Structure 1
């Protein structure tokens, strides 16, 4: 049996793999249609915490003519909320959040209470409106004993103007200021991937992860112990692989090269 045929669960990164911002990746539409037609389980997985799953579904439909269900989306925001719910130290956690609508909405959906004065958790994601005051509140809460959680370690994200700071930069600032190491939820750490594997109810040997970024997507899959497919439509280029310790199982110029049957 070909390797492609044995996978029952597909974990697929979004930006750089399914799209590049509002720029289409032509092979992505057919790839998603093939997943549905072959009745395969999949999750579109993103470290980005700024959008809600509903916003991601709308974005895919409007800009990329890709139609998926809410259940097909798994964000680092959802993984963060689920992690806190499973590991909570109090009945009703109070959280202080540095982040945008996607993260705040997910935490609120789980019933966590926003609290600037005495939070049980400090959760840090990408926040384009971050201020020194927000960082000050977070640092003081961490120093008082609040559990420090980072949604994802991405230091920078690409925009039209170039690379700009992302969640990992804010997390790193607080880590330096407080001397406290955060719990990191998103790729390349494995907490989010573990939750998705459970959500799909697929054994690791039958999972494959697709992504464009070796340092987050592919390393995340390798760290989790599943097969990976690097798609060369985003961050990592073929020449970048000369310096890595472990190669992905598959290297694809585009998703068009993948065969389901």
Structure 2
């Protein structure tokens, strides 16, 4: 067995730290262990609806203390990406405060008049009018960006259509594929690592989905852990052509590794 140092941790939120608004076993203790040992870490989420402040408060209500500067969303990654590609550009946006705030802070102008981009995020109030406007602007030459490819998202009453599903509708109408910034795009991980000064060789990714968290971690060269408290089941792991480095029952099983800073693969 090889022994590796783990100095930086990236972890998904839903299905790893919390389920809805309830902390999962070991989540609070894991974060406290990282803090106590001065480990660098970020909580990553494809959910672009909320600001880091909102998400920090949500985690806090479940008993998990994560400061807002330790949260990296697909909205922040999208704002970072477009502002680097086209500084002080303009965008027509379908989304909530998490996305619009990130774009404003990145120096973008939000406009429906010849925007450089159409940026599709998530909202619980998708409207026919806004989707029609997006389609017309893309056909008129606007570049098509989507925060994340997730087709569905969770709710207390069952699944909801998410950004990926609406993006498919827009693609069907325009024949234009969006550029997805969130997981599994490795750019989400690279920007996160840049934010905390981490290196891929000594960074671990914890996720509950093989098709977003684990594949992105593998492609970014990270050490990967799959927890079984979310979407992917143990039997489903075998159906994928790639593998996590370890499959564990929950984040509670990783507390000792967070404490020691080393893992055997």
After TM superposition, the score normalised by the length of structure 2 is: 0.93
Listed as ranges, the gaps of 5+ residues in structure 1 are none
Residue of structure 2 in register with 1:158 after alignment: 154
* Correspondent of 2:85 among 63, 68, 87: 87
**CA deviations over 1:55-77 (Å, ceiling 9, x no partner):** 01111112x11112222110111
Residue of structure 2 in register with 1:40 after alignment: 39
Residue of structure 2 in register with 1:226 after alignment: 222
Aligned pairs for 1:119-198 within 5 A: 119-198=115-194
Residue of structure 2 in register with 1:12 after alignment: 11
Taking the aligned partners of 1:162 and 1:68, their CA distance within structure 2 comes to: 27
How far 1:94 sits from its partner (Å)? 1.2
> Quick one: higher RCO (CA 8 Å, sep 6+), 1 or 2?
2
Question: Where do 4+ consecutive residues of structure 1 move more than 6 Å?
Answer: none
Task: Describe the SS at the equivalent of 1:218.
Answer: helix
How far 1:92 sits from its partner (Å)? 2.6
Task: Describe the SS at the equivalent of 2:9.
Answer: strand
Residue of structure 2 in register with 1:235 after alignment: 231
Contact 2:25–2:251 at 8 Å: present in 1 too? no
How far 1:2 sits from its partner (Å)? 7.1
How far 1:144 sits from its partner (Å)? 1.3
How far 1:233 sits from its partner (Å)? 0.5
Residue of structure 2 in register with 1:49 after alignment: 48
Listed as ranges, the gaps of 5+ residues in structure 2 are 261-265
Taking the aligned partners of 2:88 and 2:102, their CA distance within structure 1 comes to: 15
Task: Describe the SS at the equivalent of 2:154.
Answer: strand
Taking the aligned partners of 2:84 and 2:167, their CA distance within structure 1 comes to: 22
**CA deviations over 1:202-261 (Å, ceiling 9, x no partner):** 221111100111111111111222121001101111011121111100111011211232
Aligned pairs for 1:16-27 within 5 A: 16-27=15-26
After TM superposition, the score normalised by the length of structure 1 is: 0.95
How far 1:16 sits from its partner (Å)? 0.4
Task: Describe the SS at the equivalent of 1:154.
Answer: coil
**CA deviations over 1:135-167 (Å, ceiling 9, x no partner):** 111111111111111100000012222222111
Taking the aligned partners of 1:251 and 1:7, their CA distance within structure 2 comes to: 16
Residue of structure 2 in register with 1:68 after alignment: 66
Task: Describe the SS at the equivalent of 1:243.
Answer: coil
**CA deviations over 1:117-147 (Å, ceiling 9, x no partner):** 2111110011211111111111111111111
